[in-house]
Amino acid sequence: MVTKRAEHGYRGAVSRNDRARSGGAPPGRDRDLLRWNARYADEPPRFRPHPLVDAAFDAGLPQGLVLELACGRSGSALALARRGRSVVAVDISDVALRQLGAEAERCGIRDRLHLVQAEAQAFDTGANRFALVLATLYWDPAAFRIGCAVVAPGGLLGWEALAATQPRRFRVRHGELSAQLPGGFQVLSEELVRTGTRATTRLLARATA
């Protein structure tokens, strides 16, 4: 990783030359890296924005940087960049980040994306604070704490995780996201969303301090 001053106010870790690096991952994350790289290499990208993007704008998204944790091949990051936002997109998979960067280049918005190959639960945001922190279909308690800590006053936290009736790794019970919010957040919405056989719990909250 390197640190540089980016065009839209972000100062922090980005992949060298603002592209995802190949290899060099610490042994502890090799298995996850290989698994996700294989998945992204095998499946064609769709780049669909998540409903939380529109929900954030409808709620009154303030100006400022956006952080998306565990972004994958994020249609949300692209949608936000199209609307003029500068997005820091973090994912463990260099394959996903390359695909995301290529699509952003094709759309003419590459300069608004800052791609970071890192584990979400270990990402160091530095001094940056964000108007929106977004994570979808992802749960890690450490990453959630990081996300909450870097929302700017008046900014939004949008988080969706797979839901379960009993706590399981990578899943939470509906209502647990709001229960784990630190002080200084106002819950704007929290809903249980069912799509076929899959259930997710979706939270939108505003930092009040």
pTM: 0.84
Enumerate the domain spans of the chain.
Answer: 2-207
**Of the listed ranges 27-31, 59-63, 97-101, 108-112, the one predicted with least confidence:** 27-31
Token pair 């839901």 is at which residue?
A: 163
The model's pLDDT over 51-67, given as tens digits with 9 standing for 90+, comes to 999 999 999 999 999 99
Helix (H) or strand (E) holding 103: helix 94-107
CA-CA distance, 46 to 17, in Å (whole number)?
A: 25
Assigned architecture for domain 2-207: 3-Layer(aba) Sandwich (3.40)
pLDDT-based confidence at residue 147 (cuts at 50, 70, 90): very high
Which amino acid would we find at residue 175? G
What's residue 169's pLDDT?
72
Backbone angles phi, psi at 48, to 5 degrees: -90, 130
Q: Are 65 and 8 in contact (CB under 8 A)?
A: yes
Report the chain's mean pLDDT, rounded to a whole number: 87
CA-CA distance, 10 to 126, in Å (whole number)?
A: 10
DSSP assignments along 155-192, one per residue: EEEEEEEEE-SS-BTTEE-TTHHHHT--SSEEEEEEEE
The model's pLDDT over 157-189, given as tens digits with 9 standing for 90+, comes to 999 999 987 667 778 999 999 999 999 999 999
Among residues 51, 34, 50, 30, the alpha carbon closest in space to that of 42 is found at: 34
The model's pLDDT over 116-145, given as tens digits with 9 standing for 90+, comes to 999 999 999 999 999 999 999 999 999 999
